[in-house]
Amino acid sequence: QVLLVQSGAEVKRPGSSMMVSCETSGDTFTRFAVHWVRQARGQGLEWIGVVVPALGKRNFAQKFQGRATITTDVSTNTVFLRLNNLRSDDTAVYYCARSLGSSGYYTSWGQGALVTVSS
Protein backbone atom coordinates (compact mmCIF):
# COMPACT_ATOMS: atom_id res chain seq x y z
CA GLN A 1 0.00 0.00 0.00
CA VAL A 2 1.27 3.44 -0.91
CA LEU A 3 2.02 5.62 2.07
CA LEU A 4 1.61 9.36 2.07
CA VAL A 5 2.87 10.74 5.36
CA GLN A 6 1.88 14.25 6.32
CA SER A 7 3.25 16.72 8.82
CA GLY A 8 1.50 17.34 12.11
CA ALA A 9 -1.15 19.70 13.38
CA GLU A 10 -0.52 23.43 13.43
CA VAL A 11 -2.06 26.51 15.03
CA LYS A 12 -1.71 29.73 13.07
CA ARG A 13 -2.68 33.36 13.51
CA PRO A 14 -4.98 35.12 11.04
CA GLY A 15 -2.98 36.77 8.27
CA SER A 16 -0.03 34.37 8.63
CA SER A 17 0.96 31.47 6.35
CA MET A 18 0.80 27.70 6.79
CA MET A 19 2.87 24.98 5.21
CA VAL A 20 1.88 21.32 5.25
CA SER A 21 4.15 18.58 3.90
CA CYS A 22 3.38 15.22 2.32
CA GLU A 23 6.20 12.66 2.11
CA THR A 24 5.67 10.18 -0.71
CA SER A 25 7.63 7.47 -2.49
CA GLY A 26 9.99 7.87 -5.41
CA ASP A 27 7.46 6.04 -7.55
CA THR A 28 4.90 8.72 -6.79
CA PHE A 29 7.28 11.45 -7.86
CA THR A 30 8.00 9.88 -11.21
CA ARG A 31 4.60 8.49 -12.20
CA PHE A 32 1.81 10.21 -10.31
CA ALA A 33 0.22 13.52 -9.43
CA VAL A 34 -0.27 14.77 -5.88
CA HIS A 35 -3.40 16.70 -5.02
CA TRP A 36 -4.34 18.75 -1.96
CA VAL A 37 -7.86 18.53 -0.57
CA ARG A 38 -9.20 20.11 2.60
CA GLN A 39 -12.17 19.47 4.87
CA ALA A 40 -13.48 21.85 7.49
CA ARG A 41 -15.08 20.26 10.56
CA GLY A 42 -18.46 18.82 9.65
CA GLN A 43 -18.14 20.01 6.06
CA GLY A 44 -17.40 18.44 2.68
CA LEU A 45 -14.24 17.87 0.67
CA GLU A 46 -12.74 20.84 -1.15
CA TRP A 47 -10.10 20.51 -3.86
CA ILE A 48 -7.24 23.00 -3.58
CA GLY A 49 -4.75 22.11 -6.30
CA VAL A 50 -2.44 19.57 -7.89
CA VAL A 51 1.19 19.12 -8.86
CA VAL A 52 2.66 16.63 -11.31
CA PRO A 53 6.22 16.41 -9.96
CA ALA A 54 7.70 14.75 -13.06
CA LEU A 55 6.44 17.59 -15.28
CA GLY A 56 6.55 20.47 -12.85
CA LYS A 57 2.94 21.30 -13.73
CA ARG A 58 0.59 22.84 -11.20
CA ASN A 59 -3.03 23.88 -11.18
CA PHE A 60 -5.28 25.38 -8.55
CA ALA A 61 -8.98 25.79 -7.95
CA GLN A 62 -10.01 29.31 -8.84
CA LYS A 63 -10.74 30.05 -5.18
CA PHE A 64 -7.11 29.43 -4.19
CA GLN A 65 -5.27 30.97 -7.13
CA GLY A 66 -2.79 33.54 -5.88
CA ARG A 67 -3.01 32.38 -2.26
CA ALA A 68 -1.87 28.75 -2.50
CA THR A 69 1.50 27.43 -3.64
CA ILE A 70 2.60 23.82 -4.17
CA THR A 71 6.29 22.99 -4.16
CA THR A 72 8.29 19.78 -4.29
CA ASP A 73 11.58 18.48 -2.93
CA VAL A 74 12.82 15.68 -5.16
CA SER A 75 15.61 14.75 -2.73
CA THR A 76 13.04 13.68 -0.11
CA ASN A 77 10.06 12.92 -2.39
CA THR A 78 8.07 15.50 -0.45
CA VAL A 79 5.30 17.80 -1.64
CA PHE A 80 4.46 21.01 0.22
CA LEU A 81 1.29 23.09 0.32
CA ARG A 82 1.63 26.71 1.39
CA LEU A 83 -1.42 28.85 1.99
CA ASN A 84 -0.97 32.56 2.63
CA ASN A 85 -3.03 35.22 4.35
CA LEU A 86 -4.86 32.74 6.54
CA ARG A 87 -8.41 33.37 7.73
CA SER A 88 -10.47 31.59 10.36
CA ASP A 89 -12.40 29.76 7.64
CA ASP A 90 -9.15 28.12 6.50
CA THR A 91 -9.34 25.99 9.66
CA ALA A 92 -9.56 22.46 8.29
CA VAL A 93 -7.93 19.09 7.90
CA TYR A 94 -5.64 19.23 4.88
CA TYR A 95 -5.12 15.99 2.97
CA CYS A 96 -2.70 15.06 0.24
CA ALA A 97 -3.83 12.37 -2.18
CA ARG A 98 -2.31 10.58 -5.15
CA SER A 99 -3.75 10.07 -8.61
CA LEU A 100 -2.46 8.83 -11.94
CA GLY A 101 -2.71 12.23 -13.56
CA SER A 102 -3.53 15.85 -12.86
CA SER A 103 -7.14 14.76 -13.42
CA GLY A 104 -7.67 11.50 -11.59
CA TYR A 105 -9.36 9.71 -8.75
CA TYR A 106 -7.56 9.03 -5.48
CA THR A 107 -6.52 5.58 -4.29
CA SER A 108 -4.07 6.77 -1.65
CA TRP A 109 -4.50 9.53 0.92
CA GLY A 110 -2.32 11.02 3.60
CA GLN A 111 -3.51 10.85 7.18
CA GLY A 112 -4.52 14.51 7.16
CA ALA A 113 -3.09 17.53 9.00
CA LEU A 114 -5.31 19.77 11.12
CA VAL A 115 -4.56 23.45 10.69
CA THR A 116 -6.33 25.74 13.13
CA VAL A 117 -6.42 29.47 12.42
CA SER A 118 -7.17 31.41 15.56
CA SER A 119 -6.16 34.62 17.25
Partner 1 sequence: DIQMTQSPPTLSASVGERVTITCRASRNINNWLAWYQQKPGKGPKVMIYQASILEDGVPSRFSGSGSGTQFTLTISSLQPDDVATYYCQQYSLYSSFGPGTKLEV
Of 7, 59, 69, 84, which one interacts with partner 1 (CB under 8 A)?
A: 59
Cβ density class 48-65: b for 16+ within 10 Å, e for less? bbbbbbeeeebebeeebe
**At closest approach, how far in Å is the CB of 57 from partner 1?**
11
| CA atoms of 26 and 116, how far apart (whole Å) | 30
Measured torsion, CA atoms of residues 84, 85, 87, 93, in degrees rounded to the nearest 10? 10
80 binds partner 1 (CB under 8 A): no
Write each residue from 1 to 30 as x if it is in contact with partner 1 (CB under 8 A), else as -, in one continuous string: ------------------------------
Classify burial at 91, counting beta carbons within 10 Å of its beta carbon; exposed 0-12, middle 13-18, buried 19 or more: middle
Stretch of 7-15, 59-67, 72-80, 82-90 lying at the interface with partner 1 (CB under 8 A): 59-67
Residues found near partner 1 in the complex (CB under 8 A): 35, 37, 44-47, 50, 59, 61-62, 95, 99, 102-107, 109-112
